[in-house]
A = this chain, B = another copy of it.
Amino acid sequence: MKRGFYIGRFQPYHNGHQSVLEHIAGEVDEIIIGVGSAQLSHLIDNPFTAGERVLMITRSLADIGCPLYVIPIEDIKRNALWVAHVRSMTPPFDACYSSNPLVVQLFREAGIGVQSPAMYERETLSGTEIRRRMICGEPWKSLVPSPVAQVLKEINGTGRLSQIARDE
C-alpha cells in the first residue's frame, strides 16, 4: 500500500491542482492532501478558510476513485520543524509531491524523496491569477472545477474577496 502526500494552499483549488492530483491518483493507493496556512482567511492572498478549501477539494475529487485524506495544516513558522509538524497531522506516507522549492528542500533534508509534477499553463492556472480576476470582475470559472465555483457561490467568495481588496 502506497500513500502519497500533496500540499498546497488552494486559494482557491483550481484545474492545475486537479490535473496534478489525477496524475498522482494513478501512482498511489491513497492520497493525503495538506491544506496549508490553514489558519489564514479573509486576506487578499488567502481569502478562504481551511474548511471552505476542504469542501472545494473534496467535492472536486469525489470521483477520483482513490481514498483521500484532506487535512488542514496550520503554519508552524519554524521551517526546521515543519516536516515533523506535517507528519504529526497526517497518516504515514511514502511519497511526497510538490513543486515548491522550500517544501522540496525540507522533505529532502528529512530524508524523504519528493517528486515535482509539472503544472501546465502555470501562468493562468494559478491562485494569484484567479484571485486577480475575481477582484477585477474578469471571468475565472473556467479555471476551476465546477464544484469550486459552486462552493464560492454558496459562500459569496467573490464578494468577500472584492470587499477586503477595497482600498481603505
Given A99-B168, A101-B166, A163-B104, A84-B90 contact (CB < 8 Å) = no
* Copies of this chain, whole number: 6
Q: Are B79 and A43 in contact (CB under 8 A)?
A: yes
Q: Are B166 and A78 in contact (CB under 8 A)?
A: no
A83 interface contact, C-beta 8 A: yes
**Tier of interface size on chain A:** 35 or more
Docked pose: A99 CA to B91 CA in angstroms: 27
Q: Are B102 and A51 in contact (CB under 8 A)?
A: no
Docked pose: A50 CA to B40 CA in angstroms: 20
Q: How far is the CB of A48 from chain B (nearest CB, A)?
A: 10
Chain A 41-64 interface 0/1 with B at a Cβ cutoff of 8 Å (1 = within): 111000001111011001000000
Can you report 15 A-B residue pairs in the complex whose CB atoms are below 8 A from each other?
Answer: A39-B77, A39-B78, A40-B78, A41-B78, A42-B79, A42-B102, A42-B106, A43-B79, A49-B80, A50-B88, A54-B71, A72-B89, A80-B87, A83-B84, A101-B166
